[in-house]
Amino acid sequence: MKTKITELLGIEYPIIQGGMAWVADYHLAAAVSEAGGLGIIGAGGAPASFVREQIQKAKEMTDKPFGVNVMLMNPEADQIAQVIVEEGVKVVTTGAGNPGKYMAMWKEAGIKVIPVVASVGLAKMMERAGADAVIAEGTESGGHIGAATTMTLVPQVVDAVSIPVIAAGGIADGRGFAAAMMLGAEAVQMGTRFVVAKESIVHENYKKKVIAAKDIDSEVTGMTHGHPVRQIRNNMTREYLKLEKEGAPFEELEHLTLGALRKAVVEGDVVNGTLMAGQIAGLVKQEQTCAEMIQEIMEQAGKLLK
Ligand code: TUI
């Protein structure tokens, strides 16, 4: 399928993998790129040296284009931005902030820059700053989220900018893909479905929780501190939300979450770990290879769009 995004990025299918912290390592990124989508290494909160190693390993696994996501709250974001240039990465996505200060440097290096936005305002600002496309991410998504839904955000961003728009949040099958196209998107970004990919290094306990999750099994923590994070309900979210309701200071809550994502992804602690996942988890029913997922989605979407 040809769209402005497949043309821009030189990929076969307009499916981009979310740059999920801890989850989106080089195994997943290379598998998605090999399957014809755009794989992304999620830098998350990792140090720049780790991100460099991840990029080098991805290059050994695939000759196809892949990207790196810079989580802008990472204290080493400046160094990671530099590593991306030095390693010749083709595509950058950003999250959880405004990447304005890196734009000139990345554009000069010929990198395609695709910020994730959660509002029309930031989308317009990113277009003015030279972004090649934007990912409009709805509040259905897992992890750090904005307020607008995908259904409302995507068409409003499409109307507000001239660059291609990628839809994210609540998309996990061919129906979601086709719906996103109807809203004017040129591609989709998916996270939750790829969490349970066979090539994903996520602990089996975490994958089982995503597969077992139903439509209303996620909670949003951190709303009162301006860092809303969607994750699957467990002991951690109950504890967090109770403390938040009692007006606990940010430091105390931060202590609770510190390292909790790693605990869930690496150690499989599904009780006290952070199980970031989107509302579409209820639709994700089985572990498959990235190639199987992408083929299935494109086939289903193809029929619907005809
Ligand atoms: O970034 C994401 N999703 C994430 S990042 C992440 S790591 C993390 N872990 C614990 C706590 C916080 C983060 C997990 N999931 N998605 C992209 C995204 N960006 N969603 C919303 C935004 C966003 C929000 C506000 C982008 C910009 C913004 O404001 C920009 C500004 O400064 O004006």
State the average pLDDT over residues 144-158. Answer: 98
Q: Is 123 in the pocket of ligand 1 (CB under 6 A)?
A: no
What does the pLDDT read at residue 42?
98
Cβ–Cβ under 8 Å, residues 279 and 140: yes
Q: 136 with 261, same domain?
A: no
Both 8 and 139 in a single domain? yes
Same domain, 270 and 293: no
- Is residue 51 in a domain? yes
Residue 45: is it exposed, middle or buried by C-beta count within 10 angstroms (0-12/13-18/19+)? middle
**Mean pLDDT, rounded, of the chain:** 97
Tell me whether residue 33 is in a domain: yes
150, 293: one domain: yes
Task: Please indicate whether residue 19, judged by its CB atom, sits closer than 6 Å to ligand 1.
Answer: no
Q: Is the pLDDT of residue 289 over 90?
A: yes
With a 6 Å cutoff on the Cβ, whether 263 touches ligand 1 is: no
**Does the residue 207 lie in any domain?**
no
Residues 246-265 have a mean pLDDT of 91
The mean pLDDT of 164-173, rounded to a whole number, is 99
R_g over Cα of the chain = 18
Please count the other Cβ atoms lying within 10 Å of the Cβ belonging to residue 240.
Answer: 22
Q: Is the CB of 270 under 6 A from ligand 1?
A: no
Binding site membership of 253 for ligand 1 (Cβ less than 6 Å): no
Statement to judge: residues 195 and 236 lie in one domain: no
Q: Give the ligand 1 atom nearest the CA of 257.
A: 10
List Cβ<8 Å contacts ≥24 apart for 209-212: 209/234, 209/270, 209/275, 209/277, 210/275, 210/277, 210/281, 210/284, 211/284, 211/285, 211/286, 211/287
Q: How many residues does the chain have?
A: 306
Find, among 235, 196, 215, the residue nearest to 279 by Cα. Answer: 215
Same domain, 184 and 237: no
Task: Count helices and strands (H / E) in the chain.
Answer: 14, 11
169 lines ligand 1 (CB under 6 A): no
Q: Is residue 171 part of a domain?
A: yes
pLDDT (mean) for 130-139: 98
Q: DSSP for 217-232, please give it.
A: -EEEE-GGGT--EEEE
In this prediction the pTM is: 0.98
Do residues 80 and 224 share a domain?
no
Count the domains in the chain: 2
The answer as to whether 209 is a domain residue is no
Do 73 and 126 lie in one domain? The reply is yes
Q: In what order do the strands lie in the sheet with 165-168?
A: 15-17, 187-190, 165-168, 134-137, 112-117, 91-95, 66-71, 39-42
Going by pLDDT thresholds of 50, 70 and 90, the confidence category of residue 265 is very high
Widest pairwise Cα distance in the chain: 53
| Helix/strand/coil percent split, the chain, to 5 | 45, 15, 40
293 and 154 in one domain?
A: yes
Cα 305 to ligand 1 centroid, rounded to whole Å? 32
Q: Which domain holds residue 238?
A: 214-276
153 and 295 co-located in one domain: yes
The answer to whether residue 208 sits within a structural domain is no
Distance from the CA of 96 to the center of ligand 1, in angstroms?
2
Task: Give dist(CA 32, CA 17) in Å, integer.
Answer: 7
Say whether both 109 and 257 belong to one domain: no
112 and 252, same structural domain?
A: no
229 domain-assigned: yes
151 in a structural domain: yes
| CB of 135 sitting under 6 A from ligand 1 | no
- Cβ-count burial 114-145 (b if 16+ within 10 Å, e if not): bbbbbbbebbebbbebebbbbbbbbbbbbbbb
> How do residues 31-87 score in pLDDT, each as one tens digit?
999 999 999 999 999 999 999 999 999 999 999 999 999 999 999 999 999 999 999
40: which strand partners?
67
Take atom 24 of ligand 1 and give the residue whose Cα is closest: 96
255: confidence class by pLDDT, cuts 50, 70, 90: confident
